[in-house]
Structure 1
Amino acid sequence: MTDAVTENSRSSLARFVPIAAIAAGAALGWWLFGDYLGFEALAENREALIAFRDANYVATVAAFVAVYALIVAFSLPGATVATLTGGFLFATFPGALFNIAAATLGASAIFLAVRAGFGARLAARLEGSEGLVKKIKDGLDENQWSMLFLIRLVPVVPFFVANLVPAFLDVPLRRFAVSTFFGIMPGAIVYTSVGAGLGEVFARGETPDLGIIFQPQILLPILGLCALALLPVGLRLLRGRRGL
């Protein structure tokens, strides 16, 4: 009996190891690298970065993707600056592809860590609940693809939040990764294109306009994609009301 209790305790503690590692890495990263992940650091080191890229292109791509993924995985400051850096170093394409791949890898890492610690247990509790909570859980389960794409497309949903919510709802990793990769694509392309023009911005001594995504010519197409993501949900509701 005692051995079983001890084994269960160890198993419970083991589930929190990934989350503890993420938390420790985040605290250490903020302390050690917080000053190096800002726009000013990019402006000051731009010439060195370009020289290293020109001399070691493949190594630069590998290092960039790895650092960007770690920034996302540990929720460090600088994800937007990293996206701009991808455009600055590699142009809009393939820079956007590198940015999207790195962000997806980092998001998947924190998704797995959170799900290992909390997701499965919380999902089981929600599944066994009754009333409104159970209805909400069932609604999300029926429309997972639409909701996953929606929280990625809407510019006001923090990236960190969009990583946590699916983990709490026991969303499959493949579904999470695919919706992340394609869902962040519009915003990533916009910011990567801004980064591709940083050379001229630096030359003028200015800072990039990060509010560009909220300009009508950018925001309206993204909202159109949000409407498409919600279309299956609307069709299900309509069919339910008609008894189809």
Structure 2
Amino acid sequence: MKVLVTGAGGTLGRAVLPRLRADGFDVRAMSRRPRHDPAAEWVVADVETGVGLAEAVDGVDAVLHLASQPNSRRTHRVDVLGTRDLAVAAGAAGVAHLVYVSIVGVDRVPYAYYRHKLAAERVVAAGPVPWTVLRATQFPPFLDALLRTASRLGPVIGDPAVLAQPVDQHEVAGRLSERLTAGPLGGIEEYGGPQVLRFDEAVRAWRAARGSRRPLLPVRIPGRLGSALRAGGLTTTATPTGRRTWADHLADTYGGTGRR
């Protein structure tokens, strides 16, 4: 099976490409700028403008759509309209399966970027190509980067009761490979990490792994957004789940145990 991977240079894309190759897929990787990778065929195309999409989807059996533009004025153009253009091009090319990667909570958490992701899911479902949507919880590198940003002023600033369920991006890559093999689901699957953590628990493990004594400065997120995050809007009870924990990520990244 030949698979086009959009957003192939991102965090998930870098995990997906080697996994698909190891599982026997013929991979065509797509990015906005030229790249060289002797292990994969790279093509240049732009979801935002539509330039190169017809050529990118030509001759592939499936499309794994990872490309996204979070927190930007371009998000609607890339995530919603760009997804529509990709689906139309894939349909015209006779592609048999479009897999779209979304985020757990897009239908529950009132956040602007999530509204665009939910709209893109609906575009895929209404489009001309048999489809699957895989919603994943947050990747550990994202949570790690969030904590580094939240501690720029000294203490780690955040709402201690917010719930997260980090899932390793390599395990998500494995699940996507399984979904491609299984064929179109015509529905939505959620995939999360093995444990749900409060923000303060994640911070304590992060500080332990880094040998940091930065205190947690609790700041309650107001309104409907805060309520949704504290109620577990970013988590899922779906099975199966990944196996690698937040502590595993911290041990690999910082050498500490990530346990307290």
TM-score, L = length of structure 1:
0.27
The structure showing larger relative contact order (alpha-carbon pairs under 8 Å, at least 6 residues apart) is 1
Larger Rg: 1
TM-score, L = length of structure 2:
0.25
Q: Greater share of strand residues, 1 or 2? A: 2
